[in-house]
Structure 1
């Protein structure tokens, strides 16, 4: 994927977007309730329900709760279970984040971030029987835990909760993923060398056959692009932002060769492009041992790979003549699985919907494979209407489910 040209993807905290309709949908699939992080309204997070309006016609029980260093959680005394709204009021002089937690293990039922001084924000949750406490995290100050409140009755029927992950938790899967990427580098170099050789020999049919396998090796390493730096643009950049389009001298790498090979350009025109691609790929392999991925990005990438696939591959915006967007989508699906395998030890105790996520991955893969015939992939514009609708639906559902991985793997303040 050519992420360096994409519009910026927001941090994992904001992947489940604010808004009553979006969050209400999330409730049914087990995502934390979250009040909005901006003046636009509530936002979602890994495990509860949607924000309700701050006034009573919603028919829900409302409780006004103080957010401050000296009075965190004050105001909630008459506890009851079921769906309800906490109207969080920041009475302090600094912005704060607020979590509703299980005080025994720190699991989060809902959160509001960016609650400004003197402002209020609703947080809607569904509570079963158990113990709860608000945690207030003022900006530039230590966290404060409010009083523990006991809700009577059985625990069943409450919204799910998730224990926050720490930066330290994410280091082992990130290191494992970096090693996995390192293990792909030799194949990338070997296949790119074969592509260059075919171009130098003036064999366009052989070069076209060699282009896709080389390109797909790179595409499968989708979560590493942030650590690739400028190499990503050189190796896999598109014409986005280039004034000269396909003729711009800064259009290089796989897609520049794709354009030339499928538009009849001569071997003499493509040889320097192929030489530079091989040089860039070899330099990437050489530099990778010193690269460091940010552990906090790994969960975000699990969502971002397929989100960008839907935005760019499944719209054909990255097709420069080969008609292989569906093959690239399949490679991106493989790349997503590679990230999830490393995150699975953290996801298993936090994501009861993990089996459904795996089903979404399998279903999307089966749909893609209907367009795969030997070495040939059906071009995107030749899919039947039914096939296109099925693919869009499956990929869209998968992206929605992956957004919860990003939310769960978001590193949160605990002190």
Structure 2
């Protein structure tokens, strides 16, 4: 089975309707025999049914273990069709994923959010399904795809500059270029991350070694620049980073998106902040996490801006709430701006981190409702 480009959109393809979290009754229409219950523990991934009809499939995932967990639906080549992240112990989330192409997929739970996960086959039956968006939805997709294209071009330009500085041994300048080069990646991260073979090579943290993957990409060079000093193979790592970025840029430009993917991309970017940036784990050597935090938020807002006419027509109150909460989060981030960008994460107090977390959580709740609004007909 070949996964269409539509399915290359990560959690962008997931309709996160966060039941049990938001209390909202905004949910996407479902198909088949109702929601599929999933119990994700530290050692098992129990999926109630392993077959569903093509269309919108609903999963209700409960973390019954002691570790933070994730649940994925994978297509061919480990392309992420849908996911739900940051499932803390005891948490239940309901999400919908649009699977228009029948075939064989895989479900996976990832206790501790590491490794390949506990996997099992999942079959999608029936005929290929599709539904053309209305004019407003189509315009939203066109606008967002233009944003992805522009950010992809910028990613290539900035990465090229960063790589050149690393190879020239200009350490101080490479350090200044590092968070800037990553900015476009962070803005379109759900699209870029959906290419499971490229993401760990470009953006994998050192943990990937334990998962059998070579430590390369941005974070390997980050460690060289801030901790170990440039190594004999740093230039080769930089060259590989540029090759991999060129590949992901080409794929990102070719991805065909749908309106639901925009809605979930906005939420997925906030999840990225919650699971990596707000914890200081992402840029653990340079401590430039607030740069990534800011870029993820900008990317989330870009998806909402593309959908703005749709949301204004269908749920103006929700859009007003989202705008207010984006403004509040931006105001918290602005407190930590420095002349050359942002303060280091290590300079933040616990109270300051808590304030950022509160503002992020306050935005995540209404953003989680957008997919349901977009899915309503």
Alignment TM-score, normalising by the size of structure 1: 0.59
- 1:244-272 deviations in whole A, cap 9, x for unaligned? 7xxx7622211111121111322533111
Q: 2:369 aligns to what SS in structure 1? A: helix
From 297, 314, 320, give the equivalent of 1:333. 297
Structure with the greater alpha carbon radius of gyration: 1
From 147, 159, 163, give the equivalent of 1:192. 159
Alpha-carbon contact 2:192-2:252 (below 8 Å) kept: no
Identify which of structures 1 and 2 has the higher relative contact order when contacts are C-alpha pairs closer than 8 Å and 6+ apart: 2
- The whole-number CA distance in structure 2 between the counterparts of 1:32 and 1:232 is 30
* Distance change in 2, residues 1:228/1:319 (3 Å): same
**1:403 alignment counterpart:** 368
Alpha-carbon contact 2:332-2:356 (below 8 Å) kept: yes
* Distance change in 2, residues 1:179/1:325 (3 Å): same
Structure 1: runs of 5 or more not aligned = 1-7, 41-112, 114-138, 141-165
* Distance change in 2, residues 1:364/1:267 (3 Å): same
Question: Normalized per residue, which structure has more helix?
Answer: 2
- 1:80-138 deviations in whole A, cap 9, x for unaligned? xxxxxxxxxxxxxxxxxxxxxxxxxxxxxxxxx9xxxxxxxxxxxxxxxxxxxxxxxxx
Do structure 1's residue 281 and structure 2's residue 248 form an aligned pair?
no
**1:320 alignment counterpart:** 284
- The whole-number CA distance in structure 1 between the counterparts of 2:219 and 2:37 is 42
Matches within 5 A, 1:373-388: 373-388=338-353
Q: 1:322 aligns to what SS in structure 2? A: coil
CA RMSD of aligned residues (A): 3.3
**2:121 alignment counterpart:** none
Alpha-carbon contact 2:27-2:372 (below 8 Å) kept: no
- The whole-number CA distance in structure 2 between the counterparts of 1:368 and 1:301 is 21
Alpha-carbon contact 1:15-1:406 (below 8 Å) kept: yes
- 1:258-299 deviations in whole A, cap 9, x for unaligned? 121111322533111111111122233344443323543221
**2:314 alignment counterpart:** 350
**1:15 alignment counterpart:** 17
- 1:18-63 deviations in whole A, cap 9, x for unaligned? 4xxx46x547xxx5799994679xxxxxxxxxxxxxxxxxxxxxxx
Residue 376 of structure 1 deviates from its aligned partner by 4.2
* Distance change in 2, residues 1:226/1:193 (3 Å): closer
- The whole-number CA distance in structure 2 between the counterparts of 1:277 and 1:34 is 41
* Distance change in 2, residues 1:226/1:10 (3 Å): closer
Alignment TM-score, normalising by the size of structure 2: 0.64
Alpha-carbon contact 1:326-1:378 (below 8 Å) kept: yes
- The whole-number CA distance in structure 1 between the counterparts of 2:146 and 2:196 is 18
